[in-house]
Amino acid sequence: MLPNANELEGKPVPKVTFKTRVNDAWKNVTSDDLFKGKTVVLFSLPGAYTPTCSSTHLPRYNELAPVLKSKGVDDIVCLSVNDTFVMDQWKRDQEAGNITVVPDGNGEFTQGMGMLVDKSDLGFGKRSWRYSMLVKDGIVDKIFIEPEQEGDPFEVSDADTMLKYLDPEAKPPEPVVIFAKPGCPHCARAKALLESNGYKYDEITLGKNITSQTLRGISGAGTWPQVFIGGKLIGSADDVQKYFDVAKKAAR
């Protein structure tokens, strides 16, 4: 049976030495290295490369990392009962530069948290139950443990729940996508407008698999760029300028 939040909150995290690799050399990292004198968000998951972990859990924490850090968080740690080679490669594949990945290869930290579970029916052996926690100077301040039920529940250990705990009024940044093509001055202008207004964006560039036909199919327009904010089509660089002008007037 898993522990409940009341059993863990206010208690110190397990004292463990993690075996990691830095610049192709082994390096021991201790619990104190990770938590002492810091405010840390840690989320733990069943395994690198597994579906929910790769599609949602890690990517969303990576996406919201700047917002979490603006709320006083020093570091965001992803822990799994995997070895350092797997964790490091997964981080690279996920382009999760905002996250510190920690290999709990022997499951010592996870066992100390009472979160080590048997997933032998899947061929996984011992793995971590999914949870997240806010740790202040090595003490568990708040923990969100997924309900103990069949499968791999993912209801409370997500990044948005943690952000809401840190600041109930926080509004996550809207996702922004720009369809652009190399050498396009209007595309450069749209990107400059987004950046000057504090918006980070994903860029989809004209190339082998992205054509003007693709752009028309998605946006209904064949001119570059086309910008989407929060899933809504804003349009060209001129449309982006109007969007921000309207937002500024409404804020006055």
- Which active-site residues does the annotation give? 53
Residue located via tokens 């990517």: 59
CB of 8 closer than 8 Å to CB of 140: yes
The values of phi and psi at residue 71, to 5°, are: -100, 15
The encoded tokens of residue 213 equal 């036909």
Tell me the Ramachandran region of residue 49: left when phi exceeds 0, alpha when psi lies from -120 to 50, beta otherwise.
left
Residue 126 CB-half CA count within 13 A: 11
The encoded tokens of residue 71 equal 């709320």
Rounded-to-integer distance, Cα 21 and Cα 83, Å: 10
Calculated CA dihedral for residues 157, 159, 160, 162, nearest 10 degrees: 70
Q: By three-state DSSP, how is residue 137 classified? A: coil
